[in-house]
Structure 1
Amino acid sequence: MGKSERLFQLVNLLKGRRLAITAKALAERLGVSERTIYRDIQHLQSSGVPIEGEAGIGYLIADYPLPPMMFTYDELTALLLGSKMVDAWTDTQLGANAKSAIAKIEAVLPHHLKQQHDHSPFLVSSYHHGPQQQAFSAQLRTAIEAKDVVLLHYQDAELRQTQRIVEPLGLVYWGGKWTLVAFCQLRHDYREFRLDRILNVESAGQRFTCHAQKNLSHYVALVKAKYAALAAEGRDGADCDSSPA
């Protein structure tokens, strides 16, 4: 571990603690000597990091806003990969925000990290994620945040067109398609709707509320329980129709 990464880890270990941590404990966590910890703390203190404490007692960082610290290469890889996924697989508004984040991250990359990033083995393809996949994403995100009931004009796998009044709860990416998870007012239950099969979205002029038995986390818990039960029966769910409405 290099010095800059060690200093970063040291700050993370110290900040937000209610009780002081000793140099010995810090040395064991970081795999270095106590002497190195003392030198690092002096270096951070001289740089303006508000570390409180003393040898033999322990150290912590006061409740003080710290400047951004440099990310490790692996952390930058994760951030950039996630931003590229957002850019490729979501709507144009989120994509623009992702591009802006990528530009800001790349602008401050040290030269050696920039070279590593240029040779990253990860590629995010936007194939199969065209305008039809993204058409209603921004509109539905807004409805979810505002808890607005919407009228969906929808076409199912058999090309039958229907209309549903639903309470939109979340957008879920299943590794190939985006779906809207919603509470259907007709069926009085959760339903999934593939974004690439939505023909139009209109506001129903109503608001809805969530509760313990009607929210995205509850839906996810039900899905997990369903597949846990299938696994317990020795089935992998392949014979269970899990396709969205």
Structure 2
Amino acid sequence: MNKSERLLQLLTLLRARRTAVTARALAERLGVSERTLYRDIQSLTLSGVPIDGEAGVGYRLGRGSFVPPLMFTEDEIEALLLGVRMVQGWGDEDMGSAADSALHKIRSVLPDKMLQEQERQRATFLVPDTQRREKARYSGIIRRAIKDRQTLWLDYRDEQGNPTQREGNPLGLIYWGAAWTLVAWCRLRDDHRMFRLDRILDLKPTGQQFQLESHQTLEAYIRQYDPEFVDRAFL
């Protein structure tokens, strides 16, 4: 990656964030040293891009900053197309429709040459939707509950087939390649717990709102097992 490409990617990363991001996290994402990252930040600043920086906190774009429109490489378009196919094959119907709509919007602004290439490769990435409805069961309700911070009641069967009822604060959905799982703060166990969506017999929002302590979040749960993944996923 040459410097101009790296600066554009750095600008894209900063634009995607509303909060400050550390130099270390940016350098790791770009695959460069922190020293190179500091020089790149300086280059953008000298070219007129308003970047706010604070020692120990990180960088973010200043208010009212102008950023040029997005440009995609062919590999990025292929990655987006594959992502849409994955969401359509493994997600619920609402998410599949949203992903397809987003892809149409992206295709509408592509240069003619890139659009023709993308059209030619449309059938290159196929993700069968085998058992999609069972694997993604209740995911629409769960996604809304996560956004609304609303506690869920679950009628569930564990790995041994034993029935159990739980109330939990939904934190996130994780797809492991074979099954979707809900990560929640279980009120009965007072700890994080994972529930496979295909083992949920019934699920209902309770109408009760919840607030999270720092140790109860999805980030805190994942950090226990893979801190490096957290740094990538929550950048």
Q: Same fold (TM over 0.5)?
A: yes
* Residue 224 (str. 1) matches residue 226 (str. 2): yes
TM-score (norm 1): 0.63
TM-score (norm 2): 0.66
SS in 2 for 1:102: helix
1:1-245 to structure 2, matched below 5 A, reads 59-61=47-49, 64-66=65-67, 68-117=69-118, 118-119=120-121, 123-224=125-226
Q: 1:129 to 1:110 in 2, by over 3 A?
A: farther
Q: Write the distance in 1 (CA, Å) between the matches of 2:219 and 2:8.
A: 33
CA contact (8 A) 2:81 2:125 kept: no
For 2:48, the aligned partner's letter is L
Percent identity at matched positions?
38
Q: Write the distance in 2 (CA, Å) between the matches of 1:166 and 1:91.
A: 21
CA contact (8 A) 1:88 1:129 kept: no
Q: Write the distance in 1 (CA, Å) between the matches of 2:7 and 2:220.
A: 38
SS in 2 for 1:60: coil
Mark the runs of 5 or more structure 1 residues left unpaired by the alignment.
17-51, 226-245
Between the two proteins, the alignment pairs up a number of residues equal to 183
Larger Rg: 1
CA contact (8 A) 2:166 2:188 kept: yes
Stretch moving more, 72-81 or 106-115: 106-115
Residue 104 (structure 1) shift: 2.0
Q: Deviations over 1:77-100 (max 9, x none)?
A: 222222222222111111111010
Stretch moving more, 178-187 or 58-67: 58-67
Could you say what the CA RMSD is over the residues aligned between the two structures, in angstroms? 3.2
Q: 1:196 to 1:12 in 2, by over 3 A?
A: closer
SS in 1 for 2:216: coil
Q: Deviations over 1:158-203 (max 9, x none)?
A: 3332211111111111122110001111111111101111111112
Q: 1:188 to 1:14 in 2, by over 3 A?
A: closer
Mark the runs of 5 or more structure 2 residues left unpaired by the alignment.
15-43, 51-63, 228-235
